[in-house]
């Protein structure tokens, strides 16, 4: 169903060029179709700010509910921005005060980079918790991605994440654990999800606090879980929104950090992502990078053009299905007036009621 380009956010035009259905407000006003308003709290670093918009917007736009989707990107204080990113935010993002005034049907909270030993020490912690607290009382469902999952679970359940021995990085197979939950209805019982993180909240710790785990991996841990009521909070530890080249871009950034001296270790390959041909290309390039760094020589261009055709996206269909289930349930639970998000007779503390 269409995304409504209710602002001049460049992501709308980029998605239109990619073939996504984007309609302008004038056309939307003449359609007798229900509206759903979704906030995107984008906390991602500058280099990934606009890509994150596109990734989540695509997943929302792929929903097959008969509805117009209005997306409202915003951010919070405590996140350092360069001039270009700040200008983008100032021009196209909405203040949180306006978000609260207008109301939302649903909220997506992205991941973020961290600089402190624990999440409550981060400058963005208090502004983020203000949003989380408001959403618990006023938004039908909040979907948290990666770092946001760790922050919200620590705030709401008191579970601090655990540092892993090495970065959890790559594409991993997952199995559905609770096949009766609406969020995993009609999806594959085994599916892939990319992960990229140094920390984890473990399944046993989640379940001990009443969090319902819906999908997990033998090697990558929990990917999909929900709050004890079954729907108000949805937790991703992985990144189903990633494009097929997202991990490639991360790998490139890590290679460049090694060359510039910001990292002492050459990055390993993301697991289960590069095939033999790509690994051979990047193994050769690794030798070049190390030689160039040792002898203070200029680098040859990163050979990404040689590998694009070898990268497979094995997670997008399942990601679309989960988002479709999520937005479909929100469609059922919300009224026309998004400031009154719960259907008459539905307990906001247990919105799934007898459905779950």
Catalytic residue among 154, 241, 250, 254: 241
Annotation marks residue 146 as catalytic:
yes
Annotation marks residue 241 as catalytic:
yes
- Residue 203 CA to residue 189 CA, distance in Å, equals 18
Which ranges constitute the DSSP H helices of the chain?
10-17, 25-29, 49-61, 83-92, 96-102, 125-138, 147-157, 203-208, 246-260, 276-294, 316-333
Catalytic residue among 50, 146, 154, 174: 146
- Residue 40 CA to residue 53 CA, distance in Å, equals 8
Annotation marks residue 122 as catalytic:
no
CA angle 188, 333, 138 (to 5 degrees): 110
Catalytic residue among 70, 181, 195, 239: 239
Beta 190-200 vs 162-176: how paired, if at all? antiparallel
- Residue 348 CA to residue 227 CA, distance in Å, equals 13
Map 102-133 to HEC letters.
HCCCEEEECCCCCCCCCHHHCCCHHHHHHHHH
Tokens representing 308?
Answer: 């694009």
The continuous run of DSSP H or E covering 41 comes out as strand 34-41
- Residue 86 CA to residue 90 CA, distance in Å, equals 6
Place of tokens 């302008």: 24
**Phi, then psi, of 314 in degrees rounded to 5:** -110, 15
Residue of 317, 315, 240, 325 whose CA lies nearest to 63: 325
Point out the residues that are catalytic. 146, 239, 241
């Amino acid at each position: 169903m269409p995304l409504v380009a209710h602002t001049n956010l460049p992501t709308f035009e980029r998605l239109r060029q990619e073939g996504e259905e984007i309609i302008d407000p004038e056309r939307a006003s003449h359609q007798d179709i229900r509206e759903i308003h979704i906030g995107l709290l984008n906390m991602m670093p500058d280099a990934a700010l606009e890509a994150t918009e596109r990734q989540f917007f695509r997943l929302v736009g792929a929903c097959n509910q008969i509805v117009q989707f209005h997306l409202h990107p915003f951010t919070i204080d405590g996140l350092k921005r360069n001039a270009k990113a700040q200008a983008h935010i100032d021009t196209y993002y909405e203040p949180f005060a306006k978000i609260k005034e207008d109301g939302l049907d649903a909220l997506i909270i992205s991941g973020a980079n961290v600089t402190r030993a624990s999440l409550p020490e981060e400058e963005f912690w208090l502004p983020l918790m203000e949003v989380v607290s408001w959403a618990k009382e006023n938004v039908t469902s909040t979907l948290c991605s990666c770092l946001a999952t760790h922050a919200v679970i620590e705030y709401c359940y008191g579970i601090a994440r655990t540092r892993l021995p090495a970065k959890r990085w790559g594409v991993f197979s997952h199995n559905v654990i609770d096949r009766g939950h609406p969020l995993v209805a009609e999806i594959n019982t085994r599916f892939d999800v990319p992960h990229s993180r140094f920390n984890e909240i473990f399944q046993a710790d989640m379940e001990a606090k009443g969090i319902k785990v819906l999908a997990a991996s033998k090697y990558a841990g929990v990917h999909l879980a929900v709050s004890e009521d079954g729907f108000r909070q949805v937790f991703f530890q992985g990144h189903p929104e990633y494009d097929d080249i997202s991990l490639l871009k991360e790998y490139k950034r890590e290679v460049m950090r090694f060359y510039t001296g910001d990292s002492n270790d050459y990055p390993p390959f993301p697991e289960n992502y590069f095939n033999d041909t790509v690994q051979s290309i990047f193994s050769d390039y690794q030798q070049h990078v190390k030689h160039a760094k040792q002898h203070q020589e200029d680098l040859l261009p990163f050979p990404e053009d040689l590998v694009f055709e070898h990268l497979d996206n094995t997670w997008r269909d399942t990601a679309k299905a989960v988002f479709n289930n999520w937005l479909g349930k929100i469609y059922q639970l919300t009224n026309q007036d998004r400031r009154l998000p719960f259907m008459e007779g539905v307990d906001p503390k247990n919105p799934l009621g007898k459905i779950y």
